[in-house]
Structure 1
Amino acid sequence: MRAIQITEFGGPEVLKISDVADPVAGAGQVLITVDRAGINYADTHQVENSYLSKTELPLVPGGEVVGRTEDGRRVVALVGSGGYAEKAVAHAPYAFDVPEGVSDGDALALVLQGTTAWHLLKTSTHLQPGESVLVHAGAGGVGSLAVQLAKLWGAGRVIATASSEEKRKQVLELGADAAIDGEPEGLKDRILEANGGKPVDIVLEMVGGPTFDESFAALARFGRLVTFGAASRQSAAAIDPTRLMKGSKTIAGFWLADCFANPTLLGDPLAELFDLTASGKLRPIVGGEYALSEVATAHEDMRARRTVGKLVLDPTR
């Protein structure tokens, strides 16, 4: 079958089509004919071997697919790796039936980015009605869903960062109350201004480096900042514990992989997200579809922040 297999670590240039053997489902697994595969920012880290978990070669990247099982079920599945291919194998508990009213792109947007946004707001920061929420990269896969969910769940004010005027317009259309430039210089002041001069209660942060530092400086008393990525590939400054004590602030970390040991931590949020999508209350954003042969371009576009929403891969092209 056709697949993207890497035999060396590096940037987008190492992503090339290969002819590899079809995967075989073992005990407790299902074989899926892939209609679409999801592309994630984490894939760019995996390909260069800078992800939280180390990667072994050769590797077919891609952590999620939507397609048909051998018995005809339409499922979206987490596969760990192997998604950039015409066929993939998933452990049965991580293959979730996709209901009518939820498109392939919707399902891929929700299975990782959607469940991440759900846990960031409910599990990590315990959003309460009326609280202010800052969402970094509000036009991205997680951010575009987090903006909508925060509003649905009663946030008092939602502020989103985005890297261009067009993206800032898009996050306002999704329901954000304010959209600001996410560049680190002067970010704290822009956050405070967008929140009426007050610090924010919750920050969803996935950039790292000085963006993390500026965001923490804008955090209110009893505020919670959750970090779930390092897109800048920069380290933040060390936080003196006394800075947490003064203001009773919380810094949390979130990595969706820590939910994988218990499928209900994915299945239950996903069922809620499917219902919200099918009813029209939640609108996943599918920002682009690429042929298998264009996957390097997809990674380049993502790393250059030229994309919005969820990116998907068509393995038939």
Structure 2
Amino acid sequence: MRQLNEIFKKAKDGQRLSDDDLRALLYQVRPGSEEYYHLLYLARRLTFEANGGLAEVHGQIGINVAPCPMDCGFCSFGKGSGVFKENKEIGLEAAVDLALRMEADGANAIYLMITADFPMDRFFEYAYAVKKALKPETPLVANIKDFTDQEAMALKEAGFVGVYHTVRLREGLDTGIAVKRRIETIEAAKDAGLILTYCVEPLGPEHTPEDIVAAAKVGRQYGAVFSGAMRRIPIAGSRLYEKGTITEMELSLVVAAIGLYMGTPFNCTHEPNMPSLMAGANIVWAETASNPRDTRENTEEGRGLSVRDCQRLLQEAGLRPLCPDYSLQSQNKNEDSPKRRIRSRSKLFNI
């Protein structure tokens, strides 16, 4: 108990938590305990005070579905799951329409997602079409397969400000991708000047505190602007289906602990859920078209929440969704004239 109190004090004082501190939180705190609620309070206080209660909704568009050869054991795209039996893509016009709708509804950033076997040249056709249609201040983020140094530079040139990329739990065992390859991609993104967004995922009942610490450590080591946690959604037919999932309460404990460990003004959770918003999460995703946690080609008919659904959830959690026309003050307090104010849809990407 004394160790937990010492860790809580470090977090409250703004000190950097160690790997051992995160490990202790995950081993010792139990959902529903007094320590659990204190952990949630501290994690929420960190992000709430850092942003004045602001939160962001990022919109993701799934470009395609396919029986993916990487065959990750938790994914509806995995060829072994048998969910999707042929390659299908939504088309350039549909992608642009979906991006514009999400932008109009108030999304603070737009993510484009593809499967691991989708051709990169075709992906860039989507990227340029969507970027041209969006307002200049709308951040574009890539959630794609592993890529090379040259492809990282091409992403930057195409107008992407960042990537979502992570070393997933039991990477190389439950997935068809080596940890080394994931790290190489993260390094390529960083070298190209792309912002790294990260998450510990997909969390299931079998994952230990050691697994979680190892994954979270990568995000902090490579300067991710946030890292929370996402729970695994069981996909019937997938290899991990029988292992089940964790509760939102259990997820919120991990979200809070990782939030304190990262010490960043932003923390994420997925899928959007109230307990994790009470645990300091202030980034959530709306989803449209394909979704690796859904068995429908259009997740809006299934698990995916809309931008406005997410905004309402943030408000219910006592947070303030960042309005698209929000003005961020110049970093120089003496430069507060209108001409020196930064116009952005996102405080996180601040472009």
TM over 0.5: no
Whichever structure has more strand as a proportion of its residues is 1
Q: What is the TM-score with the length of structure 2 in the denominator?
A: 0.28
Q: What is the TM-score with the length of structure 1 in the denominator?
A: 0.30
Greater RCO between the two (CA within 8 Å, min separation 6)?
Answer: 2
